[in-house]
Amino acid sequence: MDSAIIIGSGIAGIASALRLRAAGKDVSVFEANNYPGGKLHAFELEDYRFDAGPSLFTLPELVTELFELFNEKPTEFFQYHRKETVCNYFWEDGMRFTVNANREIFAKDAATKFGVDSKSLLAYLQKSEKKYELTSPIFLEKSLHKIGTYLSKDTLKALTQMWSLDIGTNLNSLNEKSISEPHLVQLFNRYATYNGSSPYLTTGIMSMIPHLELHKGTYFPVGGMHSITASLYQLALRHGIQFHFNQKVEEIIVKEGQAIGIKTKDNQHFADAIVSNMDIFSTYKKLLKDQKHPERTLQQERSSSAIIFYWGIKKQFAELDLHNILFSGNYRKEFEHIFDKKSLFEDPTIYINITSKELSSDAPNGKENWFVMINAPGDFGQNWDALVKQARQNIIDKVNRLLGVNLESLIEVEDILTPPLIEQRTGSYRGALYGAASNSKFAAFLRHPNFSSKIKGLYCSGGSVHPGGGIPLCLLSAKITSDLIISTS
């Protein structure tokens, strides 16, 4: 295969394009919006700058290795630094806790703060590392839908230790058994939200996620999260990848079981390989209307979505850092509302991201740019005006309680993102942030593969397909997809 078309310029779309270009392919990217990056972009409100989408950066080597594919020195185009503080946590009972990025320090601090055994916490984190190391080569770095994956030494090693992965229990039950202290159980339950799932439903294998933060580290890119998109987009331009913005793809052209091109409003374009970086549901329902659809896959429960308030705040808060969480007083009810009632709980968990803590130019002097997010259900036709109004007041009331301020009087500028807007701008079905939810032990195997088994030459990358959502998994998705294409060339 000498040429490829990428549909969508989300982070996985750009990374797929780069990997295929590095392998000598002619690559063109078609994007419906007038900017690259999908969810990973930025905007300004008066004197405030905001990263619009993903706010957590881990595994930076997945970005830097894309520069190395072209023998470029990453530090000349993309810089970042490691955070010593992972997150500040606040509870309704007045408890506050700062998580240090060093797991030994974290365990010591938590033992002092919550009266638990530091050795037990370290044992939990060491088990988290073991799960990650066992499963990463299989579940994250290779296609689950190719027989060769199951014939490797890594797979055989993991299979012999399946008992240690806690697949048969949910994350909350595992955490209650392993940790027991309520504040810490809630803290570790939160990691289910990293793939848009419920800790009361998702499997205990998700306890491997803390390993990314408390061992591999969290980072902040110089220039903000959007600099990931910007630097990779410029890398792509330097190496001859063609981008076509404001070019909405209307159809993937299939002839005799082979994807041969795409159709836009004004033209047709042909290539040897077609890669959809669109949400997989939208890919089939909008671009492959006449083809047989994998209904079981498409009917999976969707991940949570979000309501995000972008606020310019005319005050600085010393007790806040880049990442901050104000926990719900009843976490179980919050997730019942999101997944069962398709509504919002009156006491939501609030995530506040403040990039001006790291990049002072993101807000005027003495002020802060607040990215305020609560987990929300997908769009099922709810009255979002009413839900947003309710959410806004509940968030303000909670911040006032836990931080002792009058927040309403501090908000200078505001913008709002809702599940319907997320779907409108990114094509994510129902506004789901991570495609399908991982609320079952079989979720990883039910995700759509990075290729079509029915249509030759059709591939898929991004957060709605294997291995999942979030920046690291999207970048791994691009690697799996491009390797599959290159291997068939």
- pLDDT tens readout for residues 377-390: 999 999 999 999 99
Q: What is the mean pLDDT of residues 184-194?
A: 97
User: What's the topology of domain 3-34+245-299+443-487?
Assistant: FAD/NAD(P)-binding domain (3.50.50)
What is the per-residue pLDDT for 156? 56
Taking residue 434's Cβ as centre, other Cβ atoms within 10 Å add up to: 23
Whole-angstrom distance, CA of residue 98 vs CA of residue 293: 47
Task: Name the average pLDDT for the chain.
Answer: 93
With a cut of 70, say whether residue 145 has pLDDT above it: no
Asked if residue 489 lies in contact with residue 22, where contact means CB atoms within 8 angstroms, the answer is: no
CA–CA separation, 408 vs 414, rounded Å? 11
Cβ atoms of 280 and 465 closer than 8 Å: yes
Amino acid identity at 408: E
Q: Is the pLDDT of residue 150 over 50?
A: no
Q: What is the dihedral of CA 56, 60, 78, 106, to 10 degrees?
A: 60
The 3-state DSSP class for residue 120 equals: helix
Please tell me the pTM assigned to this model: 0.94
Residue ranges per domain, the chain? Answer: 3-34+245-299+443-487, 102-216
* pLDDT for the residue numbered 431: 96
